[in-house]
Amino acid sequence: MSITLQEIANKAHCSKTTVSLVLNGRKSHNISEELCSKINFIAQSNNYKKKTNSTGIVALVLPGSMKLDLSPYYSGALKGVSSSLNKRGYVSTSIYHDASEKDDWYLENPALKESIGIILCEPPSLCFLEFIEAKNIPVVTLNFKLSGYPSIGSDIFQCTMDAMAYLKNKGASNIGFIGSSEHPAYIQRYQFFLSGAFYNELKFDKKNLIEASVDTHECYKIVKDFLDKSKQNLPDVFVCSSEGVAGSAMKAIQDSRISIPQDIGLLSFGYGNYSFPFVPSLSLIKVMNENEGRLLGKVIADRIEYKDDLLDWNCKTPGQFVIGESC
């Protein structure tokens, strides 16, 4: 295996940036000739293979049901992937795989045949996995673990805890949850909500758990009906599982002549790119999906160019608690 830039830097006792500058012929005046010679000697002695800028296609395999216009998560993540890959000279292409398609659907896909790297956004079938392994090209997964391949994801646990501590400091003592189990991240977000509530000694009564719908109008109706029946016993704050749910909840609350945040606060998980005009501005436990995408693009490009051994490597980008006017 070819030595990596970092390994050369360790042997030469300098930075990885210095090594890159020297090996690419862009050394600055403050890099001595002695260090240049040392870096070049280590690289040649250890079979260093210089990175090439040859272009190629990286295929992103997405769930067929997750079209970009319906998935703010994937739209943001893929924006980051494209930006990162384009800077490295690669082209990304999205492939939507519907579970109802025949088992060998990948054999007829030209983009997969030509790809030099694959990003998996959902677990592959056994036959598709065998096809990928036979191609012997770099593979990275997004938000799930597949043995033998590096994985990129997001970690919003800490910012959920920060958000719950903020609610406690603002005087909240009783909180509720509005969520749609149809959202793919619902279970994880609900569990984080429960952990944050328990740790910060915030009371959560399951009578304040509203099982909403992913449909905007249906969600509005469910929340509105709940408010009409429970006006005298509402929690201090509602936490929503997504911005779509939060948009419906905000309108239902305001249409019920309940003030936000004076009468009730609103906090949501999300991505910060939902089209609903939140007034007051929404407090958000933000999944940094575009950052995920940029890291995803970097890792797949590194694997293509340097063939680094990243088996079972797992990295999560941190979330962010954004304080708005809604709580």
Structure tokens at 131: 């096809």
| pLDDT, averaged across the chain | 88
Task: Assign 27 a pLDDT band (cuts: 50, 70, 90).
Answer: low
Q: How many other C-beta atoms lie within 10 A of the C-beta of residue 157?
A: 17
The predicted structure's pLDDT at residue 63: 81
Answer yes or no: are the C-beta atoms of 35 and 18 closer than 8 Å: yes
Q: Per-residue pLDDT for 35 more than 70?
A: yes
pLDDT at 99: 66
pLDDT at 255 over 90: yes
**Per-residue pLDDT, 66:** 58
- Burial call 251-268: b when 16+ CB within 10 Å, e when fewer: bbbeebeeebbeebbbbb
Q: In the predicted model, is pLDDT for residue 24 greater than 60? A: yes
pLDDT digit string, tens, across residues 290-306:
999 999 999 999 888 87
Residue 202's nearest CA partner among 237, 230, 234, 245 is 237
**Cα gap 300→119, rounded to integer Å:** 8
User: Does residue 102 carry a pLDDT above 80?
Assistant: no
Mean pLDDT of 66-92: 81
pLDDT band at 70; cut points 50, 70, 90: low
3-state secondary structure 115-157: CCEEEECCCCCHHHHHHHHHHCCCEEEECCCCCCCCEEEEECH
The whole-angstrom distance between residue 237's C-alpha and the CA centroid of its chain comes to 26
Asked if pLDDT for residue 49 goes beyond 90, the answer is no
Q: Which two tokens stand for residue 122?
A: 């959902």
Looking up tokens 């340097």 gives 306
What is the percent of the chain where pLDDT is above 90? 51
- Interior angle at CA 201, CA 195 and CA 203, nearest 5: 90
Instruction: Please tell me which residue, 85 or 25, carries the higher pLDDT value.
Output: 85
* d(C-alpha 136, C-alpha 166), whole Å: 48
Average pLDDT over residues 84-90: 89
pLDDT value of residue 302:
85
Domain with CATH 3.40.50.2300 in the chain: 57-153+291-315, 157-286
- CATH number, domain 57-153+291-315: 3.40.50.2300
The share of the chain scoring above pLDDT 70, in percent, equals 91
This model's pTM is above 0.85: no
**Strand, coil or helix: what is 173?**
coil
Angle 226-263-273 from CA coordinates, rounded to 5°: 75
Q: Residue 4 pLDDT more than 90?
A: no
CATH class of 157-286: alpha beta
Confidence class of residue 54 from pLDDT cuts 50, 70 and 90?
low
143-163, pLDDT tens digit by residue?
Answer: 888 888 899 998 999 999 999
Which residue did the predictor score with more confidence, 38 or 27? Answer: 38
pLDDT at 308: 56
Within 13 Å, how many C-alpha atoms sit on residue 212's CB side? 33
What pLDDT was estimated at residue 11? 92
Q: pLDDT higher for 326 or 183? A: 326
Mean pLDDT value of segment 241-261: 95
> What is the band of 23 on the pLDDT scale with cuts at 50, 70, 90?
confident
Mean pLDDT of 248-266: 96
At 183 the pLDDT is 83
Contact criterion met (CB below 8 Å) for 157 and 191: no
